[in-house]
Structure 1
Amino acid sequence: MNTVMPPAFTVPERLNASSPPEARGLRRDFVKMMVLSRQSGSWIDTSFSQLPGFLREGDLLVLNNSRTIPAVFKADIERNGFICKRNQEVRLARRLSEKVWEVLVPELNLQKNDQMHFSSRLSAEVINFKPELPFTVVEFSAASARLFEELYSTGEPVRYEYIHHPWSLDYYQTVYANVPGSVEMPSAGRAFSWELLQKLQAAGIRTAFLQLHTGLSYLLDDRWHQHPSHNKEHYSIPAATLSAVKQTKKDGGRVVPVGTTVVRALETAARRKSNLSSISGWTDLYINEATPLRVADGLITGFHEPEASHLDMLSAFLNRNQLITAYQHALKKGYLWHEFGDINFII
């Protein structure tokens, strides 16, 4: 029996948030918020600043404190001692070790042992290239803190076509981010301010942190069609956060991840049979309407495009027809999409 899918929706250009709220004269925690009921599918239109009123004492917010790093660079490509391409764009995709990364290099077929020169102080060597795969594996000439120092001095943040101005990296951070590693901003937490976090704490709503370093989501070339399960990302959940989640569940509170990255990390950890005090590793978990949620009771997130795998994840929280109906309402009410946009709270 074939299932009739709900009608598709499209996001008009005017609803792509092309600038940060601060540049539009708005505090980051005063973006709009649509609160969507998991039980009924009904919604309330409000402001993110009103978040404490939709949570209860004893609830736990889990936030991703991964910090966004510059991920777009220009490099001269050297092959056999000669420069064969100048100012070639290189995008970081995923860190594999202290010196080794997967990168995306559009418009160029690389070869093993090619050298990438980013500056007089930083270079990288191609150690694995397969033309049938989107990513190239490179080893940088620097590691750890020194590598990040060079990356910050030469790169810029990922910026997609709906962002018309090169905003500085500071605009791509959450206020609580402190562990560098994400090549794209874990954007659901961007709307939090320190003032709002303090109000939540005063209301008895707790917070806990984990890290999931986001990878590159858009590959710039239609020939690459990766299934979401191929998007491996590294996560780390400290003992204090695991303990807070367990205690919240025991006490009857609700665990509310801030962002799809946090859902992915928590639900991956819940599927590991482990008694470790902390958990870290790689996740390729793909969550959709058929996935039972073992930890997450709600979700704070942005608004996602119809083809995005993040939207599949939202259907694990809410009937897909109700979800699409709510999104159609958001379109009519002028909610803004993408990393500088508005917030959807599903609870």
Structure 2
Amino acid sequence: MRLEELEFDLPSRLIAAHPCEPRDGSRLLHVERGGGRIAHARFRDLGALLRPGDLLVVNTARVTAARVRARQKPEGTPVELLVLDAGTGRVCRALAGSRRPLKAGARLRSEGGAAILVEARRSDGSWGVLLEEREGGWIGLLAREGRMPLPPYILKKRAERSDAPEDRARYQTVFADREGAVAAPTAGLHFSEGMLTELAERGIGIARLFLRVGPGTFLPVRSARVEEHRLMAEEFEIGADCAEMVRKARASGGRVVAVGTTVVRALEHCARERGEVTPCSGATDLLICPPFSFRVVDGLLTNFHLPRSTLLALVYALGGAARVRAAYVEAVREGYRFYSYGDAMLLL
């Protein structure tokens, strides 16, 4: 697939800078996979678009407040670190953004005064960073100073160019329970506790898996063909309960609806490796773009994605390029909100 096939025009006014209030009040564009019919709804109406026996699969990854602001000594150049694998130790990996190129040996001082030494750059583009203080390690520093790792397109829309107190709660799903992600599984942001209860009462199952959303979600595709792009591997785990719920849904004729592209990648990786969804864990760098043979996923609940992105390529693979393009044109015409804090699309 050529990268330019993933282009579309989006007015900047449609990029959502803040979440919808309430969570389940966002809009929902329903696109039929079969005939391509498009209908407009509210996210809270999702239950009416599903059938008893259908299964929603969600990602329970919890976003870590992983952005750290610092200054490079001695000149004071601002540097922003995205900490990737914080632990109680003093060394971890981080992506770094700065007006001036960083070099190994650079010394930084965080907003709160922590001393940080930049070590060697690694093959994945990240830097080794050493926290010179010993108390609490990187986990401790993030607890004190970490900011929510909102995508750049949200920060650019805000006058203060920063996260806000509301993001601590709203850039998390209500079912998030496992730390470590540096981006939210955004399709799940629309669910409220009340909606989960209502779906269960309708006979719609909700299965949970974990995929640690990594920095690859921020990285642009540089290759001319999408399939030549290499995704950074992300840790995932599918437990016995999730695997059994998928098996039962498929056996009884229910549809498996992935809540977000991360869920699609975890389920399809497992099915390709093992022939079916079984309890498993590991890392996946599965890139899905047309043509792709889906073995597990029947439908997808997802946000509206950036042009020229692997996320949009995955949606094309499941829904068909022409059908998804038409849906995006309709979404723009009708003023849907785009990207992480935007509205949702159900492809089913």
Task: Establish whether TM, by shorter chain, passes 0.5.
Answer: yes
Alignment: residue pair count: 332
Q: 1:241 to 1:154 in 2, by over 3 A?
A: same
Q: 2 CA distance for matches of 1:345 and 1:72?
A: 31
List aligned pairs for 1:247-258, cutoff 5 A. 247-258=248-259
Q: 1:170 to 1:40 in 2, by over 3 A?
A: same
Contact kept, 8 Å, 2:77 with 2:98, in 1: the verdict is no
Q: 1:139 to 1:279 in 2, by over 3 A?
A: farther
Contact kept, 8 Å, 1:105 with 1:135, in 2: the verdict is no
Aligned to 1:261: 262
Counterpart code for 1:267 = E
Aligned to 1:94: 84
Contact kept, 8 Å, 2:88 with 2:139, in 1: the verdict is no
Q: 1:133 to 1:272 in 2, by over 3 A?
A: closer
Contact kept, 8 Å, 1:6 with 1:321, in 2: the verdict is no
State the 1:18 CA deviation.
1.5
Q: 1:147 to 1:237 in 2, by over 3 A?
A: farther
The secondary structure found in structure 1 opposite 2:319 is coil
List aligned pairs for 1:1-347, cutoff 5 A. 8-22=7-21, 27-77=22-72, 83-86=73-76, 88-92=78-82, 94-95=84-85, 99=89, 100-118=92-110, 124-129=116-121, 134-140=125-131, 147-159=138-150, 160-162=152-154, 163-164=157-158, 166-168=163-165, 169-216=168-215, 217-219=217-219, 225=222, 228-273=229-274, 278-347=279-348
Q: 2 CA distance for matches of 1:142 and 1:305?
A: 39
Q: 1:277 to 1:285 in 2, by over 3 A?
A: closer
Contact kept, 8 Å, 1:104 with 1:134, in 2: the verdict is no
Q: 1 CA distance for matches of 2:181 and 2:322?
A: 32
Counterpart code for 2:164 = W
RMSD: 3.1
Q: 2 CA distance for matches of 1:247 and 1:142?
A: 51
Structure 2: gaps spanning 5 or more residues: none
Q: 1:125 to 1:232 in 2, by over 3 A?
A: farther
State the 1:53 CA deviation.
0.8
Q: 2 CA distance for matches of 1:174 and 1:59?
A: 21
Q: 1 CA distance for matches of 2:274 and 2:86?
A: 24
Q: 2 CA distance for matches of 1:207 and 1:343?
A: 18
Q: 1 CA distance for matches of 2:139 and 2:87?
A: 13
Contact kept, 8 Å, 2:56 with 2:204, in 1: the verdict is yes
State the 1:309 CA deviation.
1.4
Counterpart code for 2:82 = L
State the 1:201 CA deviation.
0.4
State the 1:123 CA deviation.
5.1
Cα deviations by residue, 1:221-242 (Å, 9 ceiling, x for unpaired): x8x8376423322212222111
Q: 2 CA distance for matches of 1:337 and 1:33?
A: 12
Counterpart code for 1:129 = R
Contact kept, 8 Å, 2:56 with 2:259, in 1: the verdict is yes
Q: 1:67 to 1:316 in 2, by over 3 A?
A: same
Cα deviations by residue, 1:70-112 (Å, 9 ceiling, x for unpaired): 23212244xxxxx345363233263387753242333344444
Q: 2 CA distance for matches of 1:149 and 1:322?
A: 47
Q: 1 CA distance for matches of 2:282 and 2:82?
A: 19
Q: 1:32 to 1:142 in 2, by over 3 A?
A: farther
Structure 1: gaps spanning 5 or more residues: 78-82
State the 1:149 CA deviation.
4.0
Of 270-279 and 7-16, the range deviating more from structure 2 = 270-279
Q: 1:303 to 1:93 in 2, by over 3 A?
A: farther
Of 164-173 and 174-183, the range deviating more from structure 2 = 164-173
Q: 1 CA distance for matches of 2:71 and 2:120?
A: 18
State the 1:161 CA deviation.
3.8
Q: 2 CA distance for matches of 1:275 and 1:341?
A: 33
TM-score normalised by the chain length of structure 2 = 0.84
